[in-house]
Structure 1
Amino acid sequence: MSRAEAERRGRRGEVLALWWLRLRGWRILARRVKVKVGEVDIVARKGRTVAFVEVKWRRDAGLLGDAIDAHRLRRVARAAEMLAPRYAKVGDDVRIDVILVAPRTWPRRIANAWQPGA
């Protein structure tokens, strides 16, 4: 698969993740937010929780287990740390979530996927 095709499918996975979050009561605050240390695919809020969401798409659900690792999560966590003051209010819970997407499967969310020091 070409890089352009992978990018297109990844964007489609992000759209699926957006709708999946919306259907579960999350309000989407932002998409594809870039800062100098990285990028966050989705910023969403539900009640007093703000989630910085990394979306990973794979063409085979069997490959989703290797889609996210500590290196990628650290990059998202650094970006979320810079972005939190923009989206979170005092007293909000802030977390890093991952949504794994593959064809013909329901999206799988890993809530609070990153802990400092992990």
Structure 2
Amino acid sequence: MRNNREIGSEFEDTAAAYLESKGYVILERNFGDRKGEIDIIAKDGRELVFIEVKYRRNLEKGDPAEAVHFSKQKKIRDAARRYLYRCHLGEDIPCRFDVVAILGQEIRLIKDAF
């Protein structure tokens, strides 16, 4: 039986392939530390995009996008600041936060989700 990390990694692979098919250039995956993680960091045109991937087999536990609640968003924003700092990028670089919500076999991209 697969653990949650293996399942998550599989769907992050699916999301990365989907994003690349939409023209995104993947820069990094699973960036972070014990304070927070960003699933995928990519470029979409001139914008740097921090992407959270959420998967649900069905709606029993709600829509996957609903799992990116306020406290999760804060952790992602904080991790994005650490990424900008570690890469010597200014906070004035154009960036946004997207969510890839996978429900069963359906993939939904929510640009500028928060």
Could you say which TM-score interval applies, normalised by the shorter chain?
A: 0.7 to 0.9
Residue 60 of structure 1: how far off its partner (Å): 1.1
| TM-score, normalised by the number of residues in structure 2 | 0.83
Runs of 4+ in 1 over 4 A off after TM superposition: 87-91
Residue 84 of structure 1: how far off its partner (Å): 2.1
Amino acid at match of 1:93: P
1:30 corresponds in structure 2 to 28
Q: Deviations over 1:43-66 (max 9, x none)?
A: 000221010111111111562253
How far apart, CA to CA, are the structure 2 residues paired with 1:102 and 1:44? 22
**Superposition RMSD in Å:** 2.3
Give ranges in structure 2 of 5+ residues lacking alignment: none
| TM-score, normalised by the number of residues in structure 1 | 0.80
SS where residue 71 of structure 1 aligns? helix
Question: Which residues of 2 match residues 62-73 of structure 1 at below 5 A?
Answer: 63-64=62-63, 65-73=65-73
2:79 corresponds in structure 1 to 79
Q: Equivalent of 1:55, from 36, 41, 53?
A: 53
How far apart, CA to CA, are the structure 1 residues paired with 2:25 and 2:54? 20
Question: Is the contact between residue 84 and residue 91 of structure 2 (CA under 8 Å) also seen in structure 1?
Answer: no
Residue 7 of structure 1: how far off its partner (Å): 2.1
How far apart, CA to CA, are the structure 1 residues paired with 2:27 and 2:90? 13
Aligned length: 111
Question: Is the contact between residue 50 and residue 88 of structure 1 (CA under 8 Å) also seen in structure 2?
Answer: no
Give ranges in structure 1 of 5+ residues lacking alignment: none
How far apart, CA to CA, are the structure 1 residues paired with 2:93 and 2:109? 20
2:37 corresponds in structure 1 to 39
SS where residue 16 of structure 2 aligns? helix
Amino acid at match of 2:108: R
How far apart, CA to CA, are the structure 2 residues paired with 1:37 and 1:59? 27
Residue 41 of structure 1: how far off its partner (Å): 0.5
SS where residue 113 of structure 1 aligns? coil
Residue 5 of structure 1: how far off its partner (Å): 2.6
Q: Share of identical aligned residues, percent?
A: 27
